[in-house]
């Protein structure tokens, strides 16, 4: 039975998530909270789905949608949130950044200023306190201090008997969940990695091409092992988590962090990246003096209305007053919120000649 202290039979929760694991985790939250759960097809128009579901208009009605589903409506997530709220003003909207292990303050502000009731990173059963409880509190309208992960665990176990709860980010989530047991928070680890025992960042070259301000991944594994006491395999998983978080970027955007001689850039959070006005930057990037959008060709194939990652990085450095690594982090922050995407969805944001297109 749902926890009687938290039971909210007056709440309708509509689930719209492209990742089955995320949808199942939201379903567990609904059951644990006594809310009435409705599942919308992520491949259909959300407005049509909200009409089809005929969800009960209880005292509190909340749509929990991942950013990928919002972006699939054919416009930017912020525009979709505004449109949905205009058509259904009593509906609260919670946005899940399905490609983010955590949201920066700037990303959260970007989503919430478009009218979202709340904005949160991807959910994980490995990090219930950091991911699941804040969403549950937002849906129920209660303080997160009223919630206990132990109350959720039985419902997760029931859902897990028949449904998948592990998504694409599961290994990275688990690596972060193990950090406290190693005596670190994410912040203290990043501080160590910036220090003398941390990553060896230097200008490097390969096949006559220069790669400024980067580290060798295998040496990065050495540093993670020395700092955390982890095995090399665990250090690689932690490095991949840092890559998912947007703190590590392969110089060409086409490799996952590995114990190999690969070049990566380290982009720890700075005051510039955490306080960046992403909405203003995005509006300016879409404007006449923004990213140079035009039709392009590659290997005989035409790609209309796109820009290159290197052009975007230069623009962000100039207009956002950012350094090279800060521009990478801001660009990836926007891509993770589906403000733009690689034309074939094959690459993260990179300071490279890849083609990207606004959503």
* Polymer length in residues for the chain: 359
Q: What is the DSSP string of 183-224?
A: T--HHHHHHHHHSTTS---EEEEETTEEEEEEEEHHHHHHHH
Q: What is the DSSP letter of 130?
A: I
Q: What is the DSSP letter of 131?
A: I
Contact 112, 118 (CB under 8 A): yes
Predicted model pTM: 0.87
Pick from 353, 357, 330: nearest CA to 341: 357
Contact 272, 344 (CB under 8 A): no
CATH node for 272-358: 1.10.10.10
User: How many angstroms separate the CA atoms of 52 and 246, rounded?
Assistant: 38
Pick from 212, 232, 213: nearest CA to 223: 232
Q: What is the DSSP string of 254-288?
A: -----SSS-EEEE----HHHHS--HHHHHHHHHST
Amino acid 58: pLDDT: 63
Asked whether this chain's domains 178-268 and 272-358 adopt the same fold, the reply is: yes
Q: What is the DSSP letter of 63?
A: E
Half-sphere exposure of 76 (CA within 13 A, CB side): 18
CATH topology of domain 178-268: Arc Repressor Mutant, subunit A (1.10.10)
- Pairing type for strands 209-216 and 263-266 reads antiparallel
Amino acid 16: pLDDT: 94
Neighbours of 130 (CB within 10 A): 18
Amino acid 1: pLDDT: 46
Q: Beta partners for 92?
A: 62
Amino acid 8: pLDDT: 52
Could you state, in order of their start, the residue ranges of all structural domains in the chain?
A: 11-168, 178-268, 272-358
Contact 231, 221 (CB under 8 A): no
User: How many angstroms separate the CA atoms of 33 and 97, rounded?
Assistant: 22
Torsion of Cα atoms, 195 then 200 then 201 then 206, to 10°: -170
Spatial CB neighbours of 4, under 8 Å, sequence gap ≥ 6: none
How is residue 45 written in tokens?
């128009």
Torsional sign, CA 110, 80, 348, 355: negative
Amino acid 319: pLDDT: 95
Phi and psi based region of residue 206 (left: phi greater than 0; alpha: psi -120 to 50; beta: remaining):
beta
Contact 319, 236 (CB under 8 A): no
φ, ψ (nearest 5 deg) of residue 4: -60, -25
Q: Per-residue pLDDT for the chain (359 aa), expressed as one digit of tens each? A: 445 445 556 788 999 999 999 999 999 999 888 888 899 988 888 988 888 887 666 678 899 999 999 998 888 888 899 999 888 888 899 999 998 999 988 899 989 988 899 999 999 999 999 999 999 999 888 899 888 899 899 989 988 888 888 877 899 999 999 999 999 999 999 999 999 999 999 999 998 899 999 999 999 999 999 999 999 999 999 999 999 998 999 998 889 999 999 999 999 989 999 889 999 999 999 999 999 999 999 999 999 999 999 999 999 999 999 999 999 999 999 999 999 999 999 999 999 999 999 98
User: How many angstroms separate the CA atoms of 46 and 44, rounded?
Assistant: 6
CATH node for 11-168: 3.40.50.2300
Amino acid 2: pLDDT: 47
């Amino acid at each position: 039975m749902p926890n009687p202290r938290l039971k909210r039979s007056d709440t309708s929760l509509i689930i719209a998530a492209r990742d089955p694991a995320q949808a199942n985790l939201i379903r567990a939250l609904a059951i644990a909270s006594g809310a009435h759960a409705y599942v919308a097809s992520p491949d259909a128009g959300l407005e049509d789905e909200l009409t089809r579901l005929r969800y009960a208009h209880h005292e509190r009605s909340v749509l929990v949608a991942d950013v990928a589903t919002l972006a699939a409506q054919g416009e930017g997530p912020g525009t979709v949130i505004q449109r949905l709220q205009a058509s259904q003003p009593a509906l609260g909207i919670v946005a899940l950044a399905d490609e983010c292990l955590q949201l920066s303050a700037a990303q959260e502000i970007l989503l919430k200023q478009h009218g979202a009731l709340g904005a949160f990173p991807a959910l994980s059963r490995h990090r219930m306190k950091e991911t699941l409880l804040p969403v549950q509190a937002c849906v129920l309208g209660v303080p997160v201090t009223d919630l206990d992960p132990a109350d959720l665990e039985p419902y997760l176990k029931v859902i897990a008997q028949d449904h998948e709860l592990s998504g694409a980010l599961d290994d990275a989530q688990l690596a972060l969940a193990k950090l406290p047991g190693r005596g670190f928070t994410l912040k203290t680890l990043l501080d160590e990695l910036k220090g003398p025992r941390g990553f060896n960042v230097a200008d490097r070259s390969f096949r006559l091409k220069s790669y400024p301000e980067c580290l060798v991944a295998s040496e990065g594994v050495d540093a993670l092992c020395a700092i955390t006491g982890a095995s090399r395999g665990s250090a690689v998983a932690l490095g991949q988590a840092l890559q998912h978080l947007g703190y590590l970027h392969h110089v060409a955007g086409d490799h996952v962090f590995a114990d190999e001689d690969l070049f990566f850039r380290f982009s720890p959070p700075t005051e510039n990246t955490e306080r960046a006005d992403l909405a203003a930057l995005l509006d300016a990037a879409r404007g006449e003096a923004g990213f140079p959008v035009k039709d392009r060709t590659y290997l005989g194939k035409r790609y209309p209305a796109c820009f290159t990652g290197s052009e975007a990085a230069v623009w962000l450095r100039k207009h956002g007053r950012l350094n090279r690594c800060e521009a990478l982090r801001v660009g990836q922050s926007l891509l993770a919120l589906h403000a733009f995407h690689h034309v074939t969805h094959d690459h993260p944001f990179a300071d490279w000649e890849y083609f990207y297109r606004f959503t």
